[in-house]
Chains A and B, each alone.
Chain A
Amino acid sequence: MKNYVLSLLVENNSGVLSRVSGLFSRRGYNITSLSVGETENKNISRMTIVVFADEPTLEQIKKQLNKLINTIKITEFDYSNSIQRELILVKVKSSAKNRYQIIDVAGIFGAKIIDVISDEITLELTENENKIRSFIELLKPFGIIEFVRSGITGIEKKSI
């Protein structure tokens, strides 16, 4: 079992998201994340879905998604054919003493400092999943108050 990233082009109308997510819950597929937004064509949306599955299940997921009348195309992404990004907003405890250490970590990852109050710093980072994971690890010792992740979104490098 591992995570697979599926990119779906779907018709942009109400009900599509419910059909897709309903299919996952109904058939007992594990969904790790799902992000969705309009494409350059306002009638079409792109959904990026990360699923945790074994290979035969992944095959079924793709086939079942394909059966939905609103699904136009499904692509399976891997790191070589796609660019994948996720946005994270994270709020960390900070004291006058360690503030600069946190800013250092942000600097290493190219994260933005969005908000600083007396004992908290909020950072923003857009990166791939691995970088985001390390980012969280490095911030943990300072004390993470909360974070929110957007779920992965992605684009093919070059359509073949």
Chain B
Amino acid sequence: MKVSDAICKFFETKNVEYVFGYPGGALLPMYESFRHSNFKHILVRNEQGAVHSASGYARISGKVGVCIATSGPGATNLITGIATAYMDSIPIVAITGQVNTEAIGKDSFQEADITGATEPFTKHNYLVKDPNDILRVLKEAFFIASSGRPGPVLIDIPRNVQDAHIDFDLSKEINILGYKPTTDGHSGQIKKIIQRIKKANRPLIYVGGGVFSAKATKELREFVKITKIPLVNTMMGLGAFPMDSPYYGGMVGFHGNEHSELILKEADLVLIIGARMSDRATMNFSSFKTDTDLIHIDIDPAEIGKNVVNQIPIVGDAKNILNSLNKKISTLKIEDWLNKVNDIKTFTENFVTTNTKTINPKIALRLLSSISPNDTIITADVGQNQIWAAKNFKYYGDRRYLTSGGLGTMGYSLSASIGAKLASPNREVICVTGDGGIQMLLAELGTLAESKAKVIILLFNNSALGMVKELQEKKYGKNAPFGIDYDLSPDFVKIAKAFSLSGERVYSNANLNKVYQKALSSEKSFLIECIVDKDFGTL
């Protein structure tokens, strides 16, 4: 069987539904095989969009996202998306075409050392020179991408290797000598944790995106239900726990809730689950008193003790560990602490409804949150829109929030929303973005239209690169804006229509509801352009 056919056949054994990609000369054999396969190929407009779409797909489906790009410039266009997935631990297998084996290393036409280039931000990568390696490599790649701490894996395949013939034999077990992730928590450590939790007066759970990777949200909720310990989350952990719960203490970090930081400050024990304690999330970590004990649960041992010194480390899969804890733990007597948490919450929650002539994004998002289905998926870009969406949309039920948390990649949201919608066609997907972010990968509106995935794009147009404008003003004063205005902004609604999508512009919160209802009932993807005052602040 031809290697390219074998790859397709392998994808089918993995139930790959979609391959997001962009062809090229170095992929001709692959695309010829794709033609005869039964998964769908989504033709993107820029390879960066392919990885982001695969990422949105992976986050919602819980499966590995697959994308493909040709050699050289196609492969290098993938880089930002791969780095984005790496920082957020998203399982992705990226296939790149490569020049023929005999042309490698000679600066041949459209040759790029993509394994070298992506070494720092792939979990692992391969250059397949021997056709007989392909099935082992594919098996390993899917295993590595999706097990342990998930992440992107890249496979670079020369064109002549795609054309070679091999036996399709999947029977050989893979054995990666150096890769044996620890998934069960050490029983001694679990005992220790339970003892420590029982002694705590003011325990607090601190949740990151790892809880989603481990598919452990149910176990987490169970843990809180049993123990009655309150919880805060990072931005990546948003939605892991219902916000309307009395145990919910808000979002920590640079743009987090004031009360979450105060709660953190009061805690005498913090149970960190699947969070890498990044500088953004821990900016206020002076909040930690030196005598606060930390328990750190993570599948990646290197995350434990990297940024904060912890008392009790426990390496393993959050789902397994929470399951073990749930079996052995009981309700704590911490009513006073819970009351205090809720006092702090009510005391500091000062939502000011400043009236603006144009759209107030905070009110807008609160409104849409209240009328959107409970399992709506939100993808947010990077900038003010990301923070507005994180803090004003309410996450509970199965509502999910997808954003580029680690790398902070603008342009993420639109492509991620396509993947998310394809993974879950019955759920509403709202893509929140800014006028800067959407223009990063604007042509992906074409991919969206063609894919038939229906997404509502909520574009906050403040005619500026809002968040950077704010930072500039803070550092250099109000009168020194530079490089943050577009002299000419396009008519986004017209653009949406040009891509045969629907769209409408909204100038006031009063009209938003009506337009949103239209968007909800629209067959096609619908862009709502919200006109926002340039000076509307993030917080």
Contacts and interface: CB of A to CB of B under 8 A. Distances in A.
Interface of A: 10-11, 15, 18-19, 22, 26, 56, 59-60, 63-64, 66-73
B115 interface: yes
B490 interface: no
Given A67-B300, A72-B178, 18 more contacts: A11-B177, A11-B178, A15-B116, A15-B127, A18-B119, A22-B119, A56-B305, A56-B309, A59-B305, A60-B302, A60-B305, A60-B306, A63-B301, A66-B302, A69-B124, A70-B178, A71-B178, A73-B178
B78 to A, nearest CB: 18
26 contacts: A10-B178, A11-B177, A15-B115, A15-B116, A15-B127, A18-B116, A18-B119, A26-B120, A56-B305, A56-B309, A59-B305, A60-B302, A60-B306, A63-B301, A63-B302, A66-B302, A67-B300, A67-B302, A69-B123, A69-B124, A69-B144, A69-B176, A69-B178, A69-B179, A71-B178, A72-B177
A11 B123 CA distance: 16
Interface in B141-189: 144, 176-179
Contacts of B306: 60
Contacts of B309: 56
A41 B173 CA distance: 21
A13 B144 CA distance: 18
Give the 3 A-B CB pairs with smallest separation, nearest first. Answer: A63-B302, A69-B124, A72-B178
Contacts of B119: 15, 18-19, 22
B178 A68 contact: yes
Contacts of A22: 119-120
Contacts of B301: 63, 66
Contacts of A68: 178
A26 B115 CA distance: 16
A63 B115 CA distance: 22
Contacts of A10: 178
A60 B176 CA distance: 22
Interface of B: 115-116, 119-120, 123-124, 127, 144, 176-179, 300-302, 305-306, 309
A28 to B, nearest CB: 13
Contacts of A71: 178
Consensus secondary structure, chain A interface: helix
A34 B301 CA distance: 24
Nearest to B124: A69
Contacts of B120: 22, 26
Nearest to B302: A63
Contacts of A59: 305
B307 to A, nearest CB: 10
Contacts of B179: 69
Contacts of B124: 69
Nearest to A23: B120
B161 to A, nearest CB: 16
A70 B116 CA distance: 15
B313 to A, nearest CB: 11
Contacts of A69: 123-124, 144, 176, 178-179
Most chain-A Cβ atoms within 10 A of its Cβ — which of B115, B178, B301, B302? B178
A154 B309 CA distance: 32
A66 B305 CA distance: 15
Nearest to B140: A69
A33 B387 CA distance: 46
Contacts of A18: 116, 119
Nearest to B116: A18
Contacts of B127: 15
Nearest to B300: A67
Contacts of A63: 301-302
Contacts of B144: 69
Contacts of A72: 177-178
A92 to B, nearest CB: 41
Contacts of B300: 67
